[in-house]
């Protein structure tokens, strides 16, 4: 169908071009028309699922990216065409709707979203799922990180997560678990303010972005009894967004008023005090040079070169350019003078020789470093073979990291 439109449908070509420009500014200048086609497919395939499970949600009417994709979709996917195409896959939707009817409470809906996020994505596009690190974070870990950060805020800054002005960002939000758990954790009388002013999330995958947005708005609605659009979720490649040192970016692209770009600019204008999350890593890719490698990030990679690599002594430090080190580099620079980072990441940096420069930088750049090593590296410890000794059911060992930076520190 899309190939057909490319030949003759001018309205489609124009709408798709407008969306391409948004993508190139928000995600990556190298995004192509075939990437946009792929997003359109994801949008069309999942729209039906979301509207049947979240029929009372305003998400699809309100979300700025969904609206833009609707514009492209509506240039050809209407009436009989839509009915005929969706008719071919209607038996899948029937099963889903049947299951959806049995989902009664909020908790079950969240579980459903996590399943779509992981299972659907992995089946639909396994390479992208691996490259992006599509794995949700268990609730217990998220809760542990949130409560520990709150404790550390009190201990080191005499502040709390609920305080006005303590701005919190999840830079790779997936299904939005960290912000959803934060909504549950914060006292209700502070929540409206925090939700409007102090909570931020970024996500790169379109489907994940939709899921996170739905999840966050739904969790808020459940707790507060009313729907409120969440304006602080950005569809963006976090690692490419290093514009927080600048005054602002152009939000009027070719005459389009682009809400997403405005959101990114707004996020960049704030001082962020807490960066929390579960950055991606490639489960099947232990080597930077393997196929399915991540893209090159000019600015962040050069920051890594001039810090972690420069301080390191090993000959070959290519593995230091991991996705989690990129996120740490980005987060450290984003915090500027003070604040807290909490990530759950690969534990390899703790004792691997290649990471000596990385360790040295952490010690220099932060005033307090807390590491909870879950001792879960299955390859190093044959006694714990299998998948049940690791919170993610994977072989790679993980650690929970808390880093505290203080402006007025003594050294």
Ligand X SMILES: C[S@@+](CC[C@H](N)C(=O)[O-])C[C@H]1O[C@@H](n2cnc3c(N)ncnc32)[C@H](O)[C@@H]1O
* Element of type H or E holding 19: helix 10-26
Instruction: Confirm or reject binding of residue 238 to ligand X (CB under 6 A).
Output: yes
**Toward ligand X, which CB reaches closer, 15 or 134?**
134
CB-based contact 306:316 (threshold 8 Å):
no
DSSP 334-346: HHTTSEEEEEEEE
Structure tokens at 254: 């070719």
**Toward ligand X, which CB reaches closer, 132 or 214?**
132
Query: φ, ψ for residue 249 (rounded to 5)?
Result: -110, 165
**Toward ligand X, which CB reaches closer, 57 or 208?**
208
Instruction: Confirm or reject binding of residue 134 to ligand X (CB under 6 A).
Output: yes
Give the residues across from 200 on adjacent strands: 169
CB-based contact 321:288 (threshold 8 Å):
yes
Query: Which range binds ligand X by CB under 6 A, 71-79, 154-162, 167-175, 263-271?
Result: 167-175
Please give the Cα distance from 110 to 224 (Å, whole number). Answer: 17
Size of the site for ligand X (CB under 6 A): 22
Q: Which of residues 185-224 bind ligand X (CB under 6 A)?
A: 202-205, 208
**For the chain, how many residues are written?**
411
**Toward ligand X, which CB reaches closer, 208 or 273?**
208
Query: Which range binds ligand X by CB under 6 A, 63-71, 175-183, 189-197, 255-263?
Result: 175-183
Query: Which range binds ligand X by CB under 6 A, 34-42, 63-71, 155-163, 237-245?
Result: 237-245
Instruction: Give the CB-nearest residue to ligand X.
Output: 174
**Toward ligand X, which CB reaches closer, 2 or 272?**
272
Instruction: Confirm or reject binding of residue 137 to ligand X (CB under 6 A).
Output: yes
Query: φ, ψ for residue 344 (rounded to 5)?
Result: -100, 125
Query: φ, ψ for residue 95 (rounded to 5)?
Result: -60, -45
Other Cβ atoms less than 10 A from the Cβ of 305: the count is 13
Return the residue matching tokens 């534990």.
347
Q: Which of residues 1-60 bind ligand X (CB under 6 A)?
A: none
In the complex, least distance from residue 215 CB atom to ligand X, rounded to whole angstroms: 9
Query: Which range binds ligand X by CB under 6 A, 67-75, 236-244, 304-312, 371-379?
Result: 236-244
CA distance readout (Å), 324 to 28, 213, 235, 330: 19, 23, 19, 10
In the complex, least distance from residue 158 CB atom to ligand X, rounded to whole angstroms: 28
Instruction: Confirm or reject binding of residue 174 to ligand X (CB under 6 A).
Output: yes
**Toward ligand X, which CB reaches closer, 171 or 312?**
171
Instruction: Confirm or reject binding of residue 335 to ligand X (CB under 6 A).
Output: no
Instruction: Give the CA radius of gyration of the chain.
Output: 22
Instruction: Confirm or reject binding of residue 132 to ligand X (CB under 6 A).
Output: yes
Please give the Cα distance from 45 to 255 (Å, whole number). Answer: 30
Per DSSP, the three-state class of 372 is: strand
Among 145, 177, 273, 325, interactor with ligand X by CB under 6 A:
177
Instruction: Confirm or reject binding of residue 268 to ligand X (CB under 6 A).
Output: no
CA–centroid distance for 177 within its chain: 10
Among 50, 77, 112, 136, interactor with ligand X by CB under 6 A:
136
Instruction: Confirm or reject binding of residue 357 to ligand X (CB under 6 A).
Output: no
Please give the Cα distance from 364 to 5 (Å, whole number). Answer: 56
Other Cβ atoms less than 10 A from the Cβ of 10: the count is 9
Other Cβ atoms less than 10 A from the Cβ of 389: the count is 17
**Toward ligand X, which CB reaches closer, 277 or 357?**
277
Among 64, 110, 278, 348, interactor with ligand X by CB under 6 A:
278
Instruction: Confirm or reject binding of residue 130 to ligand X (CB under 6 A).
Output: no
CA–centroid distance for 136 within its chain: 10
Query: Which range binds ligand X by CB under 6 A, 61-69, 70-78, 83-91, 132-140?
Result: 132-140
Query: Which range binds ligand X by CB under 6 A, 99-107, 159-167, 174-182, 358-366?
Result: 174-182
In the complex, least distance from residue 373 CB atom to ligand X, rounded to whole angstroms: 19
DSSP 226-244: S----TTEEES-GGG--GG
**Toward ligand X, which CB reaches closer, 13 or 128?**
128
Instruction: Confirm or reject binding of residue 68 to ligand X (CB under 6 A).
Output: no
Query: Among 5, 2, 3, which Cα is nearest to 41's?
Result: 2
- List contacts with ligand X (CB under 6 A): 132-137, 172, 174-175, 177-178, 202-205, 208, 237-239, 277-278, 280
């Amino acid at each position: 169908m899309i190939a057909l439109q490319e030949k003759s449908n001018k309205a489609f070509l124009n709408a798709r071009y407008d969306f391409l420009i948004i993508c190139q500014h928000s995600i990556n200048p190298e995004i192509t028309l075939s990437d946009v086609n792929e997003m359109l497919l994801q949008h069309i395939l999942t729209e039906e699922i979301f509207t049947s499970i979240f029929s009372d949600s305003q998400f699809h009417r309100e979300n700025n990216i969904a609206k833009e994709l609707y514009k492209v979709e509506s240039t050809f996917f209407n009436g009989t065409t839509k009915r005929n195409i969706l008719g071919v896959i209607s038996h899948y939707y029937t099963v889903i709707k049947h299951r959806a009817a049995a989902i009664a409470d909020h908790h079950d809906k969240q579980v459903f979203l996590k399943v779509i996020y992981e299972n659907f994505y992995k089946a639909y596009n396994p390479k992208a799922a691996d490259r992006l690190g599509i794995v949700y974070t268990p609730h217990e870990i998220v809760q542990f990180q949130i409560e520990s950060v709150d404790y550390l805020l009190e201990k080191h800054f005499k502040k709390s997560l609920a305080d006005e002005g303590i701005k919190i960002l999840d830079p790779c939000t997936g299904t939005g678990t960290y912000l959803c758990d934060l909504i549950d954790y914060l006292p209700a009388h502070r929540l409206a303010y925090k939700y409007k002013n102090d909570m931020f999330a970024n996500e790169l995958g379109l489907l994940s972005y939709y899921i996170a947005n739905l999840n966050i708005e739904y969790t808020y609605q459940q707790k507060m009894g009313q729907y409120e659009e969440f304006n602080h979720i950005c569809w963006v490649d976090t690692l490419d967004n290093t514009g927080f040192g600048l005054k602002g970016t152009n939000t009027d692209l070719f005459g389009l008023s682009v809400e997403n770009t405005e959101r990114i600019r707004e996020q960049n204008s704030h001082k962020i005090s807490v960066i929390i999350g579960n950055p991606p890593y490639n489960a099947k890719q232990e080597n930077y040079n393997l196929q399915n490698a991540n893209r090159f990030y000019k600015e962040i990679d050069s920051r890594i070169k001039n810090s972690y690599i420069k301080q390191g002594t090993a000959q070959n430090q290519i593995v230091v350019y991991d996705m989690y080190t990129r996120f740490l580099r980005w987060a450290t620079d984003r915090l500027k003078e003070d604040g807290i980072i909490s990530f759950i990441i690969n534990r390899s940096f703790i004792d691997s020789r290649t990471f000596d420069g990385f360790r040295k930088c952490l010690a220099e750049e932060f005033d307090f470093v807390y590491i909870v090593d879950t001792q879960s590296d299955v390859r190093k410890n044959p006694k714990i073979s299998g998948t049940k000794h690791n919170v993610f059911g994977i072989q790679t060992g993980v650690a929970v990291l808390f880093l505290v930076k203080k402006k007025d520190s003594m050294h």
